[in-house]
Structure 1
Amino acid sequence: MAEDKKGGNVNVEKEPSTFSKMESFVNKNQKILTWVLIGITAVILIIFLYNRFVSNPKNEEAAASMYMAEQYYLIDSFNLALNGDGLDLGFLDIIDQYGSTPTGKLANYYIGMIYLRQGNYEDAITHLKKYNGKDNIIATMALGSIGDAYLELDNNELAIKYYNKAIKNSDNNFTTPMYLHRCAMTYEMMDNYKEAIRLYKEIQEKYPRSIEARDIDKYIARAETALKNK
């Protein structure tokens, strides 16, 4: 009870607590919440069953089917690797039949690398861009190889863009100095000697044990001389 200004008593009801409101909401909507919970559980179960009985077995089947194509790739039998030998599938068959699996995505990487070696640069770019697997090194190599393809197409700006993507995608002693070096050489081709020198020195300082670091002094000296004479 509370007293008003005239001396009378006034009933004041307390606001329901948050817990009370929640309890009331649950009671009123119990059936709906139950069905929502059942729906979420069903979705989780469907995803689990799909991965267990459809996706994973299909990927295992794809990996087994791609074995011979990988062997042909390793010995540079690129036409057989791409198209198969009449008995075993080639990479192009793999992406048709298993394109949504991790193995199918890896097949796109192989196809892109083959096209790059064959000088089919546009198709190489198309397939390398389709690789989105979880292997960080392969993903980095795919980005760097896209840069190589653009370089062959005389698109230096896009080559540098993808070399930088490869550099940022993974920091290691193999791919990072390799793509730093290619990026620096591309800058040299564009007469941007300052950027070239910066990248060469980054190799020298951060990756001194890499293959690219062995002759890095020569590249730095060449770029510095070109900058002075510019």
Structure 2
Amino acid sequence: MAKANKKQEYTTEKVLDSLNETAYKAENFFEKNSKIIIGVFGAIAIAAIGYFVYLKYVLEPKSEQAFTEMVQADEYFKQDSVLLALKGSPGSFMGYEQIIENYSGTDGANIARYKAGVAYYKLGDFASAVSNLEKFSTDDNILLAQKNGMIGNALVNSNKIAEGLPYYVKAAEGTELEVLQTVYYTKAGQIAMQLGKNADALKYFQTLADKYPNANNGEVEKYIERLKYATGGN
């Protein structure tokens, strides 16, 4: 027992000595390098302040200008003058393309990117629609679902059906809004059937039916019955 106690005391002393030595080295290191350390932290603080100032006094005003410029383009878009909304009128007003270029990095340019994607889609330029929509970023799950759904539409309309399917799934899974989930789970199911992925199609339609029993006025149940038969399910 005495030997065990002595061993424990010895071990404890060794640990304490090690900790003291580490603390001493740390203090010594700080004393020797205090100017460098303070300088580094000072540089980080200055960079953070500089970034805040840039956001507050450069990007925010630019973003407001971008939204102001967008008003006229939006009006033409509403009137179905989509090309004019996209390209603008030199010397008169900026279209979505010019806003993206001139106000890069702002929220306004980001929204213009989404609208440009929609405009290109309406014009039948599906490759440009996909390119713009993929560069658009948002934390809003409804807008994100619409973005993914439209990319899916653009790819399917470009005969890239297999590539479009995952976007419909992401659109459906990324929101809890019934109307969007109904649209995109239905599209995902139909495309999966077209690709011969009946098990996946059944999963999408079943998810939709479980969440919204009356979705598509009972049409979903017809898909489910047909797919269960095709996959040998019960």
TM-score, normalised to structure 2, is 0.81
After TM superposition, list the pairs within 5 Å mapping 1:15-164 onto structure 2: 16-86=20-90, 87-164=92-169
Looking at structure 2, the residues matched to 69 and 219 of structure 1 have their Cα atoms a distance apart, in angstroms, of 42
Looking at structure 2, the residues matched to 213 and 131 of structure 1 have their Cα atoms a distance apart, in angstroms, of 34
Tell me, yes or no, if the aligned pair for 2:117 and 2:133 is still in contact at 8 Å: yes
Unaligned segments of structure 1, at least 5 residues: 1-13
Amino acid at match of 2:173: K
Looking at structure 2, the residues matched to 226 and 29 of structure 1 have their Cα atoms a distance apart, in angstroms, of 73
What is the match of residue 221 of structure 2? 217
What is the match of residue 10 of structure 1? none
Looking at structure 2, the residues matched to 199 and 29 of structure 1 have their Cα atoms a distance apart, in angstroms, of 61
Tell me, yes or no, if the aligned pair for 1:207 and 1:213 is still in contact at 8 Å: no
Q: Which one of 174, 181, 191 corresponds to residue 196 of structure 2?
A: 191
Unaligned segments of structure 2, at least 5 residues: 1-16
Tell me, yes or no, if the aligned pair for 2:142 and 2:177 is still in contact at 8 Å: no
**Secondary structure of the structure 1 residue equivalent to 2:94:** coil
Per mean C-alpha deviation after superposition, the further-off stretch among 138-147 and 47-56 is 138-147
Relative to structure 1, the CA distance from residue 148 to residue 29 in structure 2 (aligned partners, 3 Å threshold; closer, same or farther) is same
Tell me, yes or no, if the aligned pair for 1:108 and 1:128 is still in contact at 8 Å: yes
CA deviation map 1:40-65 (0-9, x unaligned): 11011101100110011111111111
Per mean C-alpha deviation after superposition, the further-off stretch among 178-187 and 16-25 is 16-25
Amino acid at match of 1:56: E
The root-mean-square deviation of aligned C-alpha atoms, in Å, is 2.3
CA deviation map 1:146-182 (0-9, x unaligned): 1111111222210112222323333432322321111
> How many residues of Structure 1 are paired with residues of Structure 2 in the alignment?
214
Over the matched positions of the two proteins, sequence identity in percent amounts to 28
TM-score, normalised to structure 1, is 0.82
Higher helix share: 2
Relative to structure 1, the CA distance from residue 134 to residue 98 in structure 2 (aligned partners, 3 Å threshold; closer, same or farther) is farther
Looking at structure 1, the residues matched to 217 and 206 of structure 2 have their Cα atoms a distance apart, in angstroms, of 9
